[in-house]
Amino acid sequence: MEKPVKKILLLANGGREHSIAKSLKKSDKYTVEIYGFFNARNPKIIELTTDFVINSERNFGEDTKFKALQDFAQGIKNLDFAIIGPDDPIGAGAVNALLEVGVKSFAPKKSAAQLESSKGFTRSLLKKYKIEGNPEFKNFITGEEAELKKYCTEEIKEKFKFVVKDDGLCGGKGVFVQDDHFATHEEGAEIALDILAKSGKLVIEEKLEGPEFSLLCIADGKTIIPMPTIADHKRAFDGDKGPNTGGMGTISFPNKLPFITDENIAEAIIITEKVMKAVKEETGDDFCGVMYGGFMRTKNGAKLIEYNARFGDPEALNGLPLLKSDAVDLFEYAINQKLNELTVEYHNKATVCKYLVPEGYPTNSVKHEIVGVDQALLDELSVEKHFAETGEYAGVEVFYASVYEDENTGELQLGGSRAIGVVGIHDDFKEAKKLADKAIKAFSGPLFYRKDIGSEELLEARMAMIA
């Protein structure tokens, strides 16, 4: 019998979106047609599409209130739904724009997306609805400079160290942590005043201590389905040194990360369920999409660092390849608020994901340089081959991110941000790391990666953070 066709619009063309596209195309139940709304020619995603457009506008059409996106969606006959990958278009209302032309999305509407686009909104929401997991915090807006200074240098000085957070989306560059970015309360106050002058809104919050973990949950406003817990490595260089990045790599284990407890996961799930309901209560909109919670294991249990309103990048590269259930169903059931009817299964494996990034990343990346690929090696290591030969779900998955194909030469070139993500998958964590390291060798060019992600030393360092 012929499989039903599902037509899906995919917005964006990074590593996260490549992993989304691959998970969709793996569907056994449906023939999936992907329609890409992209801003670069990522050849490996394009391979998976039925059609695509390259849109040159910033943030995928935010500049024109998503007119080009609406036009593209309307040009696809019988489009089933859209998936919006990145935070910027979600925060700017891409989902609302598509609804105006009758297209539903797997992603939250603008109001519900405030969970990511306004850090103050989220902190206030937890407080108002008496949801556990908040550190001490206070929001400030323009006009409250004197109060801000007094709060930082007097009120909290003897009580706790603090973190300054720009309220809005800053691509990971709007957070300043005491001891990491500034030493004294007075220095922190100066940074806070600077940010307030620029952005008009910020949060001051208590600095928490402990290892961090990500819990991504698929949400429909009523039900959440958690993914395996994952840990990111944000610093650019080995040993957790250097500037913050979008994430240099991510790890997961069978069952759970070794440096957190089952109780921590249960706490994070309860917080996420309560926050989902509070979002509905507060905004009137159901949260449909991914509630990606960044948590810290503190001596007082799991505390919330932040929510993102989308899949993590690279977290999606670990989580989606482990999905055993049908990805189309997962996203469509979420859109139709039927997640309670779905049982979702994951392969219970370890994953080690590493991003190859351009030399100079993140501050001064080389661009447009050529990347060489040993495709034969990648094919040899692939999960697909290993699974076909042995029936064991293990091997390597590769995701292209900020790379593009030169239209004239056909060469693969660097776009300037994180370039290629490789993921080792295995029952055994050490083997997963070895697989990722082998796959890295398939690429040549002015690139670097973090050798230590997945190492014993780093795991021990995370264990040592447990207060």
* Residues at the contact surface with ligand GLY, assessed by CB under 6 A: 232, 246-247, 308, 312-315
Which of 33, 205, 220, 329 is in the footprint of ligand AMP by CB under 6 A?
205
The listed partner (ligand AMP, ligand GLY, none) that binds 177, CB under 5 to 8 Å by sort, is ligand AMP
Q: Does 247 bind ligand AMP (CB under 6 A)?
A: no
The listed partner (ligand AMP, ligand GLY, none) that binds 315, CB under 5 to 8 Å by sort, is ligand GLY
Least CB distance to ligand GLY at residue 372 (A)? 27
DSSP state at residue 228: P
Residue 154, classified by CB atoms within 10 Å of its CB into exposed (0-12), middle (13-18) or buried (19+), is: exposed
Q: Prior bond to 211 cis, omega within 30?
A: no
With contacts defined by CB under 6 A, name the span among 190-198, 200-208, 262-270, 438-446 that binds ligand AMP.
Answer: 200-208
The listed partner (ligand GLY, ligand AMP, none) that binds 313, CB under 5 to 8 Å by sort, is ligand GLY
Would you call 437 helix, strand, or coil by DSSP?
helix
Residue 372, classified by CB atoms within 10 Å of its CB into exposed (0-12), middle (13-18) or buried (19+), is: exposed
CA dihedral 52, 56, 60, 63 (to 10 degrees): -140
Q: Compute CA 236 distance to the chain's CA centroid, rounded to the nearest angstrom.
A: 17
Least CB distance to ligand AMP at residue 21 (A)? 26
For the sheet with 162-166, list strands across it.
137-141, 201-206, 162-166, 175-177
With contacts defined by CB under 6 A, name the span among 104-112, 194-202, 206-214, 382-390 that binds ligand AMP.
Answer: 206-214
The listed partner (ligand AMP, ligand GLY, none) that binds 308, CB under 5 to 8 Å by sort, is ligand GLY
Q: Does 315 bind ligand AMP (CB under 6 A)?
A: no
Name 58's Cβ contacts closer than 8 Å, sequence gap at least 6. Answer: none
Site string for ligand AMP, 1-40 (x = CB under 6 A): ----------------------------------------
CB 434 within 8 Å of CB 424 = yes
Pick the closer one to ligand AMP by CB: 6 or 185.
185
Site string for ligand AMP, 283-302 (x = CB under 6 A): -----------x--------
CB atoms within 10 A of CB 420: 28
Pick the closer one to ligand GLY by CB: 152 or 248.
248
Pick the closer one to ligand AMP by CB: 181 or 347.
181
Beta-sheet strands, E only, within 259-402: 289-298, 301-308, 350-358, 372-373, 395-400
Q: Does 135 bind ligand AMP (CB under 6 A)?
A: yes
How many residues belong to the chain?
467
* Angstrom distance (rounded) from CA 70 to CA 72: 5
Name 187's Cβ contacts closer than 8 Å, sequence gap at least 6. Answer: none
Least CB distance to ligand GLY at residue 232 (A)? 5
Which of 163, 231, 334, 459 is in the footprint of ligand AMP by CB under 6 A?
163
Q: Which residues contact ligand AMP by CB under 6 A? A: 135, 163, 172, 175, 177, 205, 207-208, 212, 234, 294, 305-306
